Each structure stands twice: as structure tokens, then as C-alpha cells.
Structure 1
Amino acid sequence: MASSSPPPPPTPDAPTPRLFYVRPDNALKVIGGSLGLAVRAGAGALVAGYKPSAAGGTFSESSSVLPATRPAKPLVVYEFTACPFCRKVREALSMVDVDVVVKPTPKGETAHRGYVSDVGGKAMFPYLEDPNTGWAGYESDAIVKYLFETYADGSVPLSLSLGGLTTLTAGAASAFRGMSGSTAVEGRQPPGPELIELWAYEASPFCKVVSERLCELGLPHLLHTAARGSVKRAELKELTGRFQVPYLVDPNTGPETKDEVLEKLCEETPESDECRTYDV
């Protein structure tokens, strides 16, 4: 998959990145996410076929089973973060290293829930669509099987193939987080015209805090999965000069919007082609 275009400059109030720093009011959330990571035995932390190597004093991480060519278009998943069945699918997406447009469906959200009901016949989650193949379907186990057969070597890892035990531990991981992301917040704003982009992966307790908040706000976003061994780790480092997740870009905000830039241009150079008006 081609790299994304360079991110816009950060907004004036964007926080300064700090390695291994947890804001005090988020400490319990990160601890809860860490407990979830432990109970799920780190599922989703590594890509399928994770392969570390060292050559010439340089450490690198890759996959021995994932194809070099990734899907041309991101997949689309309708889900909410507190759902244990949805967690299984998010872990699988991290493992097969594909990008996905996440359309949150917490309780109280209507647009995405209504769409799933209309096209699939029932408001059940997760629901996944793959525009690359035309496949669409419910049921977490069916989705996980499809992902590994289509984008990996077909072998579903043990952590996602233990039936009821997988679901039970995924549910416990959500319980440790107080079922955050299960209900839409009051007074949320509608999403902007362009998709938010998020670099993250399911197993990270730091990323968990961000994905839950996006879910509660009902904000669709393009998720660049970046588990260990993912090629997108190098892409993010190329874009920003470092690898640190979660990393979020909102093209709907910034020092100036496109309209504001154009308005300023027309004030200064009204004769420019971009500012001309024509009588028809």
C-alpha cells in the first residue's frame, strides 16, 4: 500500500510528544489497557509470522508470511471498542497488517448502525466490508478466518482460535477498561469532511485510550495498523522522524483551513486565477 501524504503541521495546541509519558488523568486507563493486554496474551502486538533479525549491528522486524503487496483500498469495519467480538477482529487486522476505515457503532450512534441494518439486515457488530474483493459479512470468527486466508497464509493463530475462551478473555480485557467505548457521548460534534488518520495497534494500552475516545465520539477514521513487524512503522518514521504511537492527524483542523488560505490569497491578490469570477 502506498504511503500517505505527509501530515499537515500540528495545531497550535497539539501536545509535544514525550516518550513513555502518561498524563496523570489517563494513568488508570493505561493500567486497565495493560491488564487487557496481559489477559489476551499480547494478541495483536505482532504481525503474523513476526520475524526479528539482526544484520550488521542493525535490528529489524518483519514478517515471514505476509505478502509484500497490501490491499489497494482500506477495508471498512463497523464496530465499537468495548465489544469482545470486535476486539478479536481488531487484533486480526493488526496481525495481517492491513489498513481499515473504522466506523464506530457505540450505543446511541445512529448513522453507522443504520447503514449496517440497511445493507446487512441486522444491527450486529462487527461487520466488515472489503472493497478489494467485494466480501462483506458479520460474525467475528468468519471475519477473522477471511482476513487470514486473504491477507496472510491462511493460518489463524491460537490466540484467535480458542472459541469461547478467546471471547471470554476479550470480554475481560474490555471489563478492565470499564467498558469504555460502549456508549456514545452526549453533545458530540459531527465528523469533518475528511477522515482522521490514526497510526496505532490493538495491543497497545496507549493506543487504546485514543481509539476508545474516537469510538465514543462516533468519529470515523482511517486506522494504519502498526503492530511490531509492520511495514507502516517505517512509513511513520519517514513521515515524522520517529516511531511513536498513537499518532493522529486530523486534516479538518490546523493553523488554517483550505478556505481560509484561499480567502487570504484573494485579499492579497484578487487578480489571481483562483479568485476570478465569471459572468455566465
Structure 2
Amino acid sequence: MLTHQIKVVQALASALTEGGRGTTGTPFPKQPKQALKLYEYEGSPFCRRVREVLTLLNLDYEVYPCPRGGKRFRPIVKELGGKLQFPFLVDENTGDRLYESQDIIHHLFKHYGKTGTTPKKYAHYPKIPVLAVAGTVINGLRGGMANSGNQARTAPTQLLELWGFEASPYTRIVRGVLTELELPFIFHNVAKERWQDQGLAKLRLKPGKYVPLQGGKREQVLKVMGDNIQVPYLVDANTGTSLFESEDIVKYLKKQYGE
């Protein structure tokens, strides 16, 4: 328990280095018809930039973890794009395959943003992501290396599904384990759409029964989770398992798919 709580504190400190990016997003996303496919790894500051924008746009996407030392999806990136560089985005809706984080960000705003242009805040990231690197170090470098004992295991037949948002420290812990185990998954962004959504599930700024914005994405998410929205939330259709609580999810993933 203590070890997990330390990880939570590290993940929270890592999120704070980005000044709140990856927390809020539009309640009315422009979801692509075919799922975006992101080849990345949790510990990369450049991948983190892209994930922040995906949360801002509140887009769902498929994640194919490519940690250093990984053997499951890295060869696919080399085959599709010609080099090993991350993040790597495949958008079958437009036919684009993109490497550079800034190019991916422009692409996302162009095709899935409201105005088609990249906001100034996201248009010129520093070439050396000092704060993001610091956040990665604070987070204990998790999600950067493959779990060597798991490389030979076969990936699940059906993609795991994870609900969360980029800046959530609890979600970050789960994504780190998914990366280390090289487990592909669908990431459902549950961005906070307005001030009433701010705060933990049991301690929101607006007290009382949680009511999502009518017609927003969270209203649809509530139908999946029940009477409240809490992240992370994992669904594994391969075993019929549904779990809240990051600690329980981590234990499940390591037991079911770990060494």
C-alpha cells in the first residue's frame, strides 16, 4: 500500500510540472470514424505532449506501447514509417503517418479541432522539454522500459479499454504498467468539461450528486460507469473484468499478463 501511495505522489508531482495541461477538454469532441493509432510510451516527454492535446480534444484512440527494449510493436513502427522514433501516429481517416510531436499536434487540431488551427499555447513547444523531462524523472522513469519477463507473452485477443485523462496521477500509474507489459489498449479520454467536474470523484468542487453536462461526452461515460465518474476504469473483455482503483488495476494486470 505504501509503495503504491508513493507512486501516486510521484505521478501527481509529475502532472503538476505541466501546469494543468491534460486535465480539461471539450465536451463535444469531433471523434474520427476510424480509431487513431498512437505508438508511444508513457515515459517519453514528446509522447506526453501529444497525449495532452488528445485530452484537450477529448479524443479516444488506440495505444500501442513501444517502451525501450520492447519487441511487440516497435518492429511495426519501423515497418510502417521507416524508422524507430516516437510518438508515431497512424490516422487511417486521412492516410497520414506522422512522427514529430509538433507535426502530430498540428494534425490533430487541423482535423479534429473546432477551428482547424493550432492554438498558440500548443503551437510552439520548446525543442528541449525541460519540464516534461523533469516530470518523467519525478515519476520514477516509469513506462519507459519494457518488462523483460513479459516480452514473449501474447497480447490479448481484444484490446483492453482504459478510461482516464492525461493529467490524472492514478491513470498515469496504470498506463505506465500497460507500457511496461506492452499491452495495447483503447484509451477513452474523460476530460473535465467544466468547473463542476473538477476534483476527485468523492471530493468535487460542486457537492452533491454528480450531474454531467447534458449532451457532453461525460454524460455518455456515466452510462458506462454507473452512478458516478471515476478514473482510471479498466475493462478487459477477454476475461469479463471491470475495475476501478489504480492499485487494483495494477495488481490485476500483473497477475493476468505479467511474468
Q: What letter matches 1:196 in structure 2?
A: L
- Match in the other structure for 2:239: 253
Q: Counterparts of 1:50-65 in structure 2 under 5 Å? A: 62=27
- Preserved contact between residue 43 and residue 159 of structure 1 (Cα < 8 Å): no
In structure 2, the CA distance between the partners of 1:90 and 1:80, relative to structure 1 (3 Å rule), is same
Structure 1 residue 43 corresponds to structure 2 residue 7: no
- Preserved contact between residue 157 and residue 238 of structure 2 (Cα < 8 Å): yes
CA shift, 1:228, in A, is 0.9
- Preserved contact between residue 106 and residue 216 of structure 1 (Cα < 8 Å): yes
Aligned residue among 31, 34, 37 for 2:9: 31
For 2:117 and 2:239, locate their aligned partners in 1 and report how far apart those are by CA, in whole Å.
42
TM-score by length of 1: 0.72
Structure 1 residue 89 corresponds to structure 2 residue 50: yes
In structure 2, the CA distance between the partners of 1:170 and 1:161, relative to structure 1 (3 Å rule), is farther
| 1:114-152 C-alpha deviation (Å, 9 max, x unpaired) | 011111110000000111121111100000111011111
Bigger Cα displacement from structure 2, 89-98 vs 182-191: 182-191
Structure 1 residue 240 corresponds to structure 2 residue 225: yes
The size of the alignment, in residue pairs, is: 216
In structure 2, the CA distance between the partners of 1:41 and 1:155, relative to structure 1 (3 Å rule), is farther
In structure 2, the CA distance between the partners of 1:225 and 1:83, relative to structure 1 (3 Å rule), is same
Name the SS for the 2:64 alignment partner: strand
Stretches of structure 1 lacking an aligned partner (at least 5 in a row): 1-22, 49-61, 256-280
Structure 1 residue 117 corresponds to structure 2 residue 78: yes
For 1:166 and 1:248, locate their aligned partners in 2 and report how far apart those are by CA, in whole Å.
33
For 1:171 and 1:155, locate their aligned partners in 2 and report how far apart those are by CA, in whole Å.
27
- Match in the other structure for 2:166: 202
- Match in the other structure for 2:139: 177
- Preserved contact between residue 76 and residue 102 of structure 1 (Cα < 8 Å): yes
For 1:78 and 1:103, locate their aligned partners in 2 and report how far apart those are by CA, in whole Å.
5
Q: What letter matches 1:123 in structure 2?
A: L
In angstroms, what is the RMSD of aligned CA positions?
1.9
Name the SS for the 1:25 alignment partner: helix
CA shift, 1:166, in A, is 7.2
- Preserved contact between residue 67 and residue 180 of structure 2 (Cα < 8 Å): yes
CA shift, 1:97, in A, is 1.3
In structure 2, the CA distance between the partners of 1:161 and 1:26, relative to structure 1 (3 Å rule), is farther
CA shift, 1:236, in A, is 2.2
- Preserved contact between residue 159 and residue 185 of structure 2 (Cα < 8 Å): yes
Q: What letter matches 1:229 in structure 2?
A: E
